Structure 1
Amino acid sequence: MKASIQFFHSLISSIIIVFFITVSGYGKTISSQRFSSDTLKIRVYLEGPLFDNGNALAMDGRPLMRDNLRSLPLNGQTLIPGKSPYTSIPFYAGNANRYGTVGTQYDLITDSTSVFSIQGQDAIVDWVFIEIRNQNNSGHVLATRSALLQRDGDVVDIDGTSPVYFPGLTATQAYVVVKHRNHLGVMSNVVNLNSLIDFTSGSLSVFDYGTSINPSYNFNGLAQNSNVKPGFRAMWAGDFDSNGKLKFGNPGDDMNQLLFGLLYYGSNAGLSTNFDSAYGYLPMDYDLNGKVKFDNPGDDKNMLFSQIIFYPLNGQLLENFGLIIEQVPTVTLR
Structure 2
Amino acid sequence: MTPRTVTAITALALGCRLFAQVSVDWTESGGLAIALDQQNNVFTVNYDPNLGGDITLTKRNANGAFLWDASFDQTSTTMFDKATWVATDPQGNAIVTGTVMSGFTSPVNANSLVMKFDPAGNLLWRQVYESFFDGSSTRKCVVDKASNIYVVGIGTGPNGQVTKVKKFAPNGTALWSWFDVGIGAPVNIKFTPDSNLVIAHRGIVGSVNGYTRIDRNGNTIWSLGGVNSLTVGDAAGDAFGNTYVVHGDYLGGAGSVIRKLSPTGTLLWQNVYPITAYRVEVGTDNAPVVSGFPFPGNGGAAFLKTDPNGTQLWSNANADGPNNFLLHAQMMLDASNNAYLCAGVLFASGHLQGTQRWNRRLVHHRGHRWWSGVRIGYGQQRVRDRRSTVRLGQATTGVQVSPRVFLEGPFNALAGSMSDGLRAAGLVPLADPYPGLGYVHTGPPSPSTTNVVLSTTGTNAIVDHVLIELRDDADNTLVLASRTALVQRDGDVVDVDGTSPVSIAAPAGNYFVAVRHRNHLPCMTASAMALNALPTALDFTSSITLTYGTAARKSIGGAQVLWMGDATFNDQVKYAGSANDRDAILVRIGGAVPTNTVSGYFTEDVTMDGTVKYAGTANDRDPVLVTIGGTVPTAVRNAQLP
Structure 2 alignment gaps of length 5 or more = 1-378, 380-393
- Cα distance in 2, alignment partners of residues 106 and 308 from structure 1: 32
Q: Indicate the residue corresponding to 1:195 in structure 2.
A: 536
The offset of 1:308, in angstroms, is 2.1
Q: Indicate the residue corresponding to 1:170 in structure 2.
A: 507
The offset of 1:103, in angstroms, is 1.5
Paired residue secondary structure (1:84): coil
Paired residue secondary structure (1:284): coil
State whether structure 2 residue 569 is matched by structure 1 residue 242. Answer: yes
615, 632, 637: which one aligns with 1:295: 615
Q: Indicate the residue corresponding to 1:96 in structure 2.
A: none
The offset of 1:15, in angstroms, is 4.7
Contact 2:466 2:517 in 1 (8 A): yes
Q: Indicate the residue corresponding to 2:632 in structure 1.
A: 318
Structure with the larger RCO, 1 or 2 (CA within 8 Å, 6+ apart) = 1
- Cα distance in 2, alignment partners of residues 37 and 279 from structure 1: 39
- Cα distance in 2, alignment partners of residues 273 and 162 from structure 1: 43
Q: Indicate the residue corresponding to 1:251 in structure 2.
A: 578
Q: Indicate the residue corresponding to 2:400 in structure 1.
A: 39
Q: Indicate the residue corresponding to 1:181 in structure 2.
A: 518
State whether structure 2 residue 414 is matched by structure 1 residue 55. Answer: yes
480, 492, 495: which one aligns with 1:157: 495
The offset of 1:320, in angstroms, is 1.1
State whether structure 2 residue 603 is matched by structure 1 residue 283. Answer: yes
The offset of 1:237, in angstroms, is 0.5
281, 305, 308: which one aligns with 2:625: 305
Paired residue secondary structure (1:102): coil
Contact 1:107 1:147 in 2 (8 A): no
Contact 2:589 2:596 in 1 (8 A): yes
State whether structure 2 residue 467 is matched by structure 1 residue 129. Answer: yes
The offset of 1:113, in angstroms, is 1.7
Q: What TM-score results when the alignment is normalised by the length of structure 1?
A: 0.70
The offset of 1:155, in angstroms, is 0.8
Q: Indicate the residue corresponding to 1:273 in structure 2.
A: 594
The offset of 1:87, in angstroms, is 2.1
1:245-278 alpha-carbon deviations (Å, 9 max, x no partner)? 11111222110001111116xxxxxx421124x1
Structure 1 alignment gaps of length 5 or more = 1-11, 17-35, 57-62, 73-77, 93-98, 209-219, 265-270, 311-316, 330-334
- Cα distance in 2, alignment partners of residues 54 and 174 from structure 1: 31
Q: Indicate the residue corresponding to 1:332 in structure 2.
A: none
Letter in 1 for 2:496: I
Q: Indicate the residue corresponding to 2:27 in structure 1.
A: none
Paired residue secondary structure (2:423): coil
Q: Indicate the residue corresponding to 2:209 in structure 1.
A: none
Alignment of 1:200-239 (within 5 A): 200-208=541-549, 220=550, 222-226=551-555, 228=556, 230-239=557-566
425, 432, 448: which one aligns with 1:84: 432
Q: 4+ residue stretches of structure 1 with deviation over 4 A?
A: none
1:34-92 alpha-carbon deviations (Å, 9 max, x no partner)? xx862111111111110xx3832xxxxxx2100011012xxxxx10111111123xx22
Contact 1:69 1:290 in 2 (8 A): yes
- Cα distance in 1, alignment partners of residues 566 and 572 from structure 2: 6
The offset of 1:105, in angstroms, is 2.6
1:208-250 alpha-carbon deviations (Å, 9 max, x no partner)? 0xxxxxxxxxxx3x01111x2x221111100011111111112
Contact 2:465 2:487 in 1 (8 A): yes
- Cα distance in 2, alignment partners of residues 137 and 171 from structure 1: 17
- Cα distance in 2, alignment partners of residues 308 and 141 from structure 1: 27
- Cα distance in 2, alignment partners of residues 192 and 198 from structure 1: 15
1:270-314 alpha-carbon deviations (Å, 9 max, x no partner)? x421124x110011111101111111122111222222234xxxx
- Cα distance in 2, alignment partners of residues 55 and 119 from structure 1: 19
Q: Indicate the residue corresponding to 1:103 in structure 2.
A: 443
- Cα distance in 2, alignment partners of residues 297 and 102 from structure 1: 40
Paired residue secondary structure (2:476): coil
- Cα distance in 2, alignment partners of residues 240 and 207 from structure 1: 22
1:103-133 alpha-carbon deviations (Å, 9 max, x no partner)? 1233312xx2201111111100000111101
Letter in 1 for 2:443: G
Contact 2:432 2:446 in 1 (8 A): no
- Cα distance in 2, alignment partners of residues 249 and 186 from structure 1: 23
- Cα distance in 2, alignment partners of residues 225 and 155 from structure 1: 19
Contact 1:182 1:241 in 2 (8 A): yes
Alpha carbons of 1:279 and 1:54: their partners in 2 closer, same or farther (altered >3 Å)?
farther
Larger radius of gyration: 2
Paired residue secondary structure (2:446): coil
Contact 2:468 2:516 in 1 (8 A): yes
- Cα distance in 2, alignment partners of residues 149 and 245 from structure 1: 22
Contact 2:398 2:503 in 1 (8 A): no
Paired residue secondary structure (1:202): coil
Letter in 1 for 2:611: K
- Cα distance in 2, alignment partners of residues 15 and 55 from structure 1: 44
Q: Indicate the residue corresponding to 1:22 in structure 2.
A: none
Contact 1:87 1:107 in 2 (8 A): no
Alpha carbons of 1:140 and 1:171: their partners in 2 closer, same or farther (altered >3 Å)?
farther
State whether structure 2 residue 382 is matched by structure 1 residue 68. Answer: no
Q: Indicate the residue corresponding to 2:481 in structure 1.
A: 143
Contact 1:107 1:145 in 2 (8 A): no
- Cα distance in 1, alignment partners of residues 584 and 595 from structure 2: 15
Q: What percent of counterpart residues are identical?
A: 34
